[in-house]
Amino acid sequence: MLSQDDSLSKPAPIDRNRELLKTAREEIYKTVGGVNLPVYIWEPESGKAPPYPKSVIAFFYSSGWDNGQVSQFAPHCVYFASRGMLAMAFDYRVSARHGSTPVDAMADARSAFRWLRLNAVELGISPGKIVGAGGSGGAHIAAASAMVSGFDEAGEDLSIPCAPNALVMFNPVLDTSKKGFGFDRFTEPDQAKRANLAGAIAPGLPPTLIFHGTQDRVVPFDASFDFAKRMKKKKNICELIVYEGQGHGFFNFNVSFDIYQATLNVMDDFLVGQGFIEPDPDALSDVL
């Protein structure tokens, strides 16, 4: 049996995602209400970067707009930087840390995409090859930037587009009606109605990839199924990857490495198919 002294001397378990976050460059992309919001940036190595402006993938961590860890998608960022993309993890306002609302989080995502385009030359990215990615509420605010209007930060330059050029979403919040998720987290019912992505499907939306587990008890799987079906009816590209028997957050590195790797491979194939990255020469050599 360990003594109290022995237990106190044991090293704390290493949080791999937090350690990976330390390998990124940190910048402030927005200051609002005295709050500085950081973005963590992973650059591709010189040998991996393309000879033309890079594509960028912007991750927004999973939340119910209430809490979450900006380090969540650090493993994904490290991987896509190795594939020649500029990879970023954006912090945004959540109620537990900022006393904020979903509307504030939506405004932050829109600011993030505008910040990318405003600084495209300095960042070495193509303003027309921005991928918005995220989980749960983070997926919602990324997609909302392309699908709904009227949630912009006061004083922001609205001439700069805030819509990403492609979307990758993990167990996304898509239905903010009373029968969906998060209706009561908006301060006004009208806000929840206008933020409801299920009711905002129109032609011409960005190519979209969705991952969702059928046993998700937080965000209903049926919302993603219906969303994908309606997206296709509007002639939008929308792929739904179904994970039978999986619950909320099944895709995270620290939940299942095998599923994490599988979803990463699907993301890679999707982004290759949409022209955001080149095929992986290492993977091709393995096949050949």
CA 59/CA 171 separation, integer angstroms: 14
User: Which of 79-118 are b and which e, b meaning 16 or more Cβ less than 10 Å from the residue's Cβ?
Assistant: bbbebbbbbbbbbbbbbeebebbbbbbbbbbbbbbbbbbe
Nearest residue to 201 via CA among 159, 139, 143: 143
Q: Which two tokens stand for residue 185?
A: 């987290």
Residue 9 lies in a domain: no
Within-domain flag for 248: yes
What is the C-alpha separation between 192 and 206, in angstroms, rounded?
A: 22
Record the tokens describing residue 148, joined without a space. 């709904």
Domain that holds residue 209: 14-275
In a domain, residue 242? The reply is yes
Please, are residues 16 and 253 in contact by the beta-carbon 8 Å criterion?
yes
- Check which CATH number belongs to the domain holding 127 and give it: 3.40.50.1820
Residue 283 placed within a domain: no
Distances (CA, A) of 18 to 4, 24, 94, 159, 260: 28, 10, 19, 36, 17
**pTM listed for this prediction:** 0.92
Phi, psi of 62 (to 5 degrees): -65, 140
Note whether residue 24 is domain-resident: yes
Examine residue 164 and state whether it is found in any structural domain, yes or no.
Answer: yes
Beta carbons of 218 and 171 less than 8 angstroms apart: yes
* 131 within domain boundaries: yes
Q: Please report, in tens digits, the pLDDT of each residue of the chain (288 residues total).
A: 444 444 445 554 567 888 999 999 999 999 999 999 999 999 998 888 888 999 999 999 999 999 999 999 999 999 999 999 999 999 999 999 999 999 999 999 999 999 999 999 999 999 999 999 999 999 999 999 999 999 999 999 999 999 999 999 999 999 999 999 999 999 999 999 999 999 999 999 999 999 999 999 999 999 999 999 999 999 999 999 999 999 999 999 888 899 999 999 999 999 999 999 999 877 644 432
Q: Give the contacts of 94 (CB within 8 A, at least 6 positions apart).
A: 63, 65, 66, 67, 68, 100, 105
1 belongs to a structural domain: no
Our count of domains for the chain comes to: 1
